[in-house]
Amino acid sequence: MGRLVLAAATSHVGAIVRNPGADPARSDVLHRAWETLDAELAALKPDAVVLVATDHYETFGLENYPTFCLGMADVHEAWGEFGNPGGTVPGRPELAKELLHGLHRRGFDLARSHTMALDHSFMVPLAKLPAAASAGVVPLFVNCNTPPLPTLARCAELGRALADTIAELPGGARVAVIGTGGLSHWVGLPRFGDINEAFDRKVLDLLERGRLPEVLAWSDERIESEAGNGALELRTWVIAAAAAGGRCRTLAYQPMYPWTVGIGIAAFDVVRPDAGLGVVL
């Protein structure tokens, strides 16, 4: 039996590592939260981290754009686009294979890639969470950019199926799930640089109170209108939250105007009876 040892979520904008000292009164709070999350992850000693993120037309283009894609490489190359983190990250292809088949049995026909390169949506969180990079990653791409997008409800179903699949992994595999994206921000639009702090805090409040179904009822039109096209990355948080099954614990939130994004860092109580460890964080 496998174990879901931790579920968490974090924003991923490249400015986190390109301009780390911006607005120190706010950014220092965030850096301490990443350090806290990284220490917790290191203490749990996962065998792999399923890193749930999107892509910004680096790996996937309109000639072939999946809804969900699982990375299965021995080593994942980073794009290092626009000064974002480069290099390589170890993959976990055997575990990825087990996840692929387990999710298929549960009705998810995921695409797969044996050469999946990673952009900043994966690499920035790995830079802030070195314990995740050390554990090795199974990257899980989610289309958050190019309609039609998977619904929030479908992403929640994927999160639950992912947890069920992890629970049946052989050899007692210990796996963490981390979603990356959001929160409010506008990309390539006149409102670039705006942040809707009220929206972000509402998301976190609902998740803290265990009211994920209310978030799942929101339309993409509402999310984009209130919090920008970048907030559609909330899908990655939904997958992590649904995998855990418990309430959110917000480690930090700051409206980071120098980074043009409302930055959230959170963990979720793992309360599924098959998770093996009870509540974490």
Length of the chain: 281
| Residue 166: both structure tokens together | 């992890």
What total of structural domains would you count in the chain? 1
Residue 82 belongs to a domain with what CATH number? Answer: 3.40.830.10
Report H helices in the chain: 15-18, 24-44, 93-105, 120-128, 130-135, 152-167, 197-208, 212-216, 220-227, 234-244
- Confidence tier at 272 by pLDDT (50, 70, 90): low
**Residue span of the structural domain in which 191 resides:** 3-270
Please name which of 266, 270, 212, 207 lies closest in space to residue 243, comparing C-alpha atoms.
Answer: 270
Q: Given this model, what pLDDT does residue 62 score?
A: 86
Whether residue 277 is contained in a domain is answered as no
What's the whole-number mean pLDDT along residues 184-209? 97
**pLDDT of 238-259, one tens digit each?**
999 999 999 999 999 999 999 9
List residues with catalytic annotation.
Answer: 120, 185
Q: Is the pLDDT of residue 149 over 60?
A: yes
How many Cβ atoms are within 10 Å of 86's Cβ, its own excluded? 12
Whether residue 278 is contained in a domain is answered as no
Whether residue 144 is contained in a domain is answered as yes
- Confidence tier at 274 by pLDDT (50, 70, 90): very low
**pLDDT of 34-79, one tens digit each?**
999 999 999 999 999 999 999 998 999 988 999 999 999 999 999 9
